[in-house]
Amino acid sequence: MNEETFYATIRELGARYRKRDLSPVEVTHALLARIERLDPVLHAFVTLTADRALADARAAEEALGRGDGRALLGIPVAHKDIYLTRSIRTTGGSALLADWIPENDATCVRRWREAGTVLLGKLMTHEFAFGIQLPGHRFPPARNPWNLDHIPGGSSSGSGAALAAGLVSGATGSDTGGSIRGPAAFCGVVGLKPTYGRVSRAGVLALSWTLDHAGPMARTVEDCAYLLQAMAGHDPADPASSRAPVDDYLAPLARDIRGVRIGVPRAYFFEGIDPEIERAFEVAIETLRRLGAEVRDVQIPSLHATHSFLLILMAEAFAYHERDIRHHPELYGDVLRERILTGALVTAAEYTQAQRIRAQICREAAGVLREVDVLVTPTTLKPATPFTLAQDPEFGFPKSNMPPFNLTGLPTLALPCGFSSSGLPLSLQLAGRPFEEGAVLRVGHAYEQATTWHTRRPPL
């Protein structure tokens, strides 16, 4: 098994399994060895589940022998450690839950299990998807495989690092203000924040009920589509879960993007942008045009509402953590504790006004998405942050291109669009209409196939 096998796509792995060219048990053994070699430096995993992985792999092998044709059969995955896993420690990256062993799987964990995946373990997350891990924290932070002195992004930090390092083929993430897309961007992988309500959050630790999204991360757009297919769908256990029918997310990838109307919201998304990212973005736009898309500028004036986003996030995070943080303040990291307690100061009037501004943004975005099919922006304003800067408690919440799509709940994809001069990945963000994941995956896939960014490997 050569190095490239660790970067095989889900479809390639499945094809080789079915040619008997490779077996899930063989892949699992090789991955466990690779994790043992690389993870002491990367810290992508909080918990490795070697026995479970081998048992899953053997079961997959038997199923393959019976001719079972499921796309995810034998595909190695891991879960962000805020997804509850039955009989497997689920820490939330926190001291509070460091030894907690849930009795039930999160809905998404169950669905991926039922799809035949191989579970390698639990992946690092920022503390409760909201803190930052300072030196000395019980769970040391994951590192960026492209440059160990830089963060892999957060809060789905382990998911981004594990995918970029070829340790898993798919991972779950969660995204309240960019926690799927940010790590995807910083690690040069693909992340999809589905439409609000498309993927169940039952059994995923909450941060902010009205902003939280669960979704898949992978190395290619097609892999994301396979993983989404096995996660999407109504779940009565998540009150916000939608009953909208689930589409076939693979089918749109077969179509080219001639005539697709793409809007570039010029204001807001380019304020404070790194010049290298701006150049990469303009080249990406030209690529999309060359592929036949109609690209035009659009306006969504209310998007400058970062303040509303933070008010909603802070208030809901405090409401969720209030009881625990009162009883066990010492089990929260200093940065996280201060962030959460700040939410106690938000008044209901501020909160409801923020939700009203949010409704206005949703109306404006819906208006623009009557004129275009997909919006495109840079995912982040800068490449991966150095640890020296990210661990400064004063770093706070810099302006971000991602929260507008948590406020609106629109399906949003992040995928590689180049590299900085220092070798760090850059990323494109595509957003579509509610429940039109297929449209963003289609555009993302066409762009990805026309470029070669997803074939580059980090220097491990």
Q: At CA 441, angle to CA 82 and CA 106, rounded to 5?
A: 20
429 near 402, Cβ under 8 Å? yes
Q: Please list, in sequence order, all residues whose beta carbon lies within 8 angstroms of the beta carbon of residue 444, skipping any fewer than 6 positions away.
A: 190, 221, 413, 415, 428, 430
By CB under 8 A, is residue 268 in contact with its own copies? Answer: no
By CB under 8 A, is residue 343 in contact with its own copies? Answer: yes
Q: Which of 349, 370, 394, 396 binds its own copies (CB under 8 A)?
A: 349
Q: Which of 332, 351, 435, 447 binds its own copies (CB under 8 A)?
A: 351
**Least separation in angstroms between CB 63 and its own copies:** 37
By CB under 8 A, is residue 367 in contact with its own copies? Answer: no
Short-list 287, 217, 282, CA closest to 451:
287
Size of interface with its own copies, in residues (CB under 8 A): 23
By CB under 8 A, is residue 324 in contact with its own copies? Answer: no
Complex with its own copies: residue 23 or 200, whichever CB lies closer: 200
3-state secondary structure 139-202: CCCCCECCECCECCCCCCHHHHHHHHCCCCCEEEEEECCCCCHHHHHHHCCEEEECCCCCECCC
By CB under 8 A, is residue 363 in contact with its own copies? Answer: yes
By CB under 8 A, is residue 315 in contact with its own copies? Answer: yes
Complex with its own copies: residue 290 or 323, whichever CB lies closer: 323
**Least separation in angstroms between CB 336 and its own copies:** 16
Segment 173-212, which members bind its own copies (CB under 8 A)? 209
Tell me how far apart the alpha carbons of residues 20 and 236 are, in angstroms, rounded to a whole number.
40
Q: Which of 311, 417, 431, 443 binds its own copies (CB under 8 A)?
A: 311
Q: Which of 12, 274, 324, 350 binds its own copies (CB under 8 A)?
A: 350
By CB under 8 A, is residue 359 in contact with its own copies? Answer: yes
Short-list 156, 130, 135, 132, CA closest to 144:
156
Segment 222-241, which members bind its own copies (CB under 8 A)? 239
Provide the annotated active-site residues.
80, 155, 179
Tell me how far apart the alpha carbons of residues 454 and 451 are, in angstroms, rounded to a whole number.
8
CB atoms within 10 A of CB 455: 12
In this structure, the strands spanning 118-123 and 190-193 are unpaired
By CB under 8 A, is residue 299 in contact with its own copies? Answer: no
Q: Which of 136, 259, 348, 459 binds its own copies (CB under 8 A)?
A: 348
- Cα–chain-centroid distance for residue 52? 24
What tokens were used for 51?
């026995």
Complex with its own copies: residue 71 or 202, whichever CB lies closer: 202
By CB under 8 A, is residue 254 in contact with its own copies? Answer: no
Q: Which of 87, 299, 352, 455 binds its own copies (CB under 8 A)?
A: 352
Short-list 262, 231, 218, 268, CA closest to 402:
268
Q: Which of 87, 299, 347, 422 binds its own copies (CB under 8 A)?
A: 347
By CB under 8 A, is residue 319 in contact with its own copies? Answer: yes
438 near 301, Cβ under 8 Å? no
Complex with its own copies: residue 71 or 315, whichever CB lies closer: 315
Q: Which of 12, 274, 278, 322 binds its own copies (CB under 8 A)?
A: 322
Greatest Cα pair distance, the chain, in angstroms, is 62
**Interface residue list for its own copies (CB under 8 A):** 209, 239, 311, 314-316, 318-319, 322, 343-353, 356, 359, 363
